Amino acid sequence: MEGKEKPRLSRLTAILTQLQSKRIITARLLAEKHNVSLRTIYRDIRTLEKSGIPIVTEEGKGYSIMEGYHLPPVIFSEDEANALITIEQLAIKNKDQSLVDNITSALEKVKAILRYSQKGNADLLAERIYFSGNNNEEKTSDNLMQIQSAITSYKVLTINYLSSEKKQTTRSIEPFAIYSIHGDFLLVAFCQLRNDFRHFRIDFIESITIEKQIFKPYNMTIKEYFEKYVRNQ
């Protein structure tokens, strides 16, 4: 089961998206995704049907949306659809849970507007793509989305940080950029304690608080940062 039960309206919306994103989906899979009973899913399906959604029930297989019901505002080419599936499989291997959750949710919505004939191909391709690295799919952080939000809103972060030497510190930092090395995300930030830029491994951040304090944006690109602060070290 995946987390707590969602409010019913939120669940119904998610079920509709999931029905649109796959050619067929079982009640059991929907129940597991939403942490509810099969009986609840049956009631939800009936509610969607009563609201005018043309749901097709295939005995012994599952549910699908009647072909042609959803007219997508955007049409993806086969190559574009395949590229999205590849991105999803890459994301699943990522070590940050917040990134995995949000990419999976976003791509589920994208897949909901694929042409009917592409949905089966998307499911097939997802089963035939494999990327090595992080093979046990362990998630070692859950902070990336918060950090990205702080970067774009210029918010100071307070972090409890455990260094590779197991030294624990509390820092107030001004997040600047994120980059990845060997599957690990590193945060470049101006450390108010050290009065200089520092790198922080995101999976070493034990807790994070977004403060109300706003910092002045840094007028440089990540490329300029490396040229100025890293290349000459």
Domains of the chain: total = 3
* Side-chain-facing half-sphere of 91: CA atoms under 13 Å: 19
pTM over 0.85: no
Is residue 47 located within the same domain as residue 104? no
* Side-chain-facing half-sphere of 86: CA atoms under 13 Å: 6
Is residue 223 located within the same domain as residue 151? yes
Q: Indicate which CATH number applies to the domain containing 57.
A: 1.10.10.10
Residue 217 has pLDDT above 80, yes or no: yes
Torsion angles phi and psi, residue 210, rounded to 5: -85, 115
Instruction: Say what the pLDDT of residue 161 is.
Output: 96
How far apart CA 68 and CA 70 sit, in angstroms, is 6
What is the per-residue pLDDT across 6-17, written as a single tens digit (0 to 9) for each? 678 888 988 988
How far apart CA 30 and CA 148 sit, in angstroms, is 31
What is the per-residue pLDDT across 27-74, written as a single tens digit (0 to 9) for each? 999 999 899 999 999 999 999 999 888 999 988 889 998 877 754 555
Is residue 4 located within the same domain as residue 63? yes
- In three-state secondary structure terms, 117 is helix
Q: Of 139, 162, 187, which residue constitutes the final position of a domain?
A: 139
How far apart CA 35 and CA 165 sit, in angstroms, is 40
Q: Of 139, 157, 183, which residue constitutes the final position of a domain?
A: 139
Is residue 149 located within the same domain as residue 130? no
How far apart CA 214 and CA 41 sit, in angstroms, is 45
Could you list the residue range(s) of the whole structural domain that residue 76 is in? 71-139
Are 41 and 27 a contacting pair, CB within 8 Å? yes
Q: Indicate which CATH number applies to the domain containing 220.
A: 2.30.30
Cα–Cα nearest to 15, from 3, 4, 43, 1: 43
Are 187 and 178 a contacting pair, CB within 8 Å? yes
Is residue 95 located within the same domain as residue 82? yes
Tokens found for residue 127: 């089963």
Instruction: Say what the pLDDT of residue 2 is.
Output: 44
* Side-chain-facing half-sphere of 175: CA atoms under 13 Å: 30
Is residue 112 located within the same domain as residue 159? no
Is residue 162 located within the same domain as residue 183? yes
Cα–Cα nearest to 94, from 183, 215, 205, 220: 183
Are 20 and 113 a contacting pair, CB within 8 Å? yes
Instruction: Say what the pLDDT of residue 159 is.
Output: 97
Residue 211 has pLDDT above 90, yes or no: yes
Are 84 and 111 a contacting pair, CB within 8 Å? yes
Is residue 95 located within the same domain as residue 166? no
Is residue 162 located within the same domain as residue 222? yes
Is residue 110 located within the same domain as residue 58? no
Is residue 182 located within the same domain as residue 225? yes
Is residue 21 located within the same domain as residue 51? yes
What is the per-residue pLDDT across 99-147, written as a single tens digit (0 to 9) for each? 888 888 888 887 777 777 777 777 777 777 776 666 556 778 899 999 9
Q: Of 139, 163, 196, which residue constitutes the final position of a domain?
A: 139
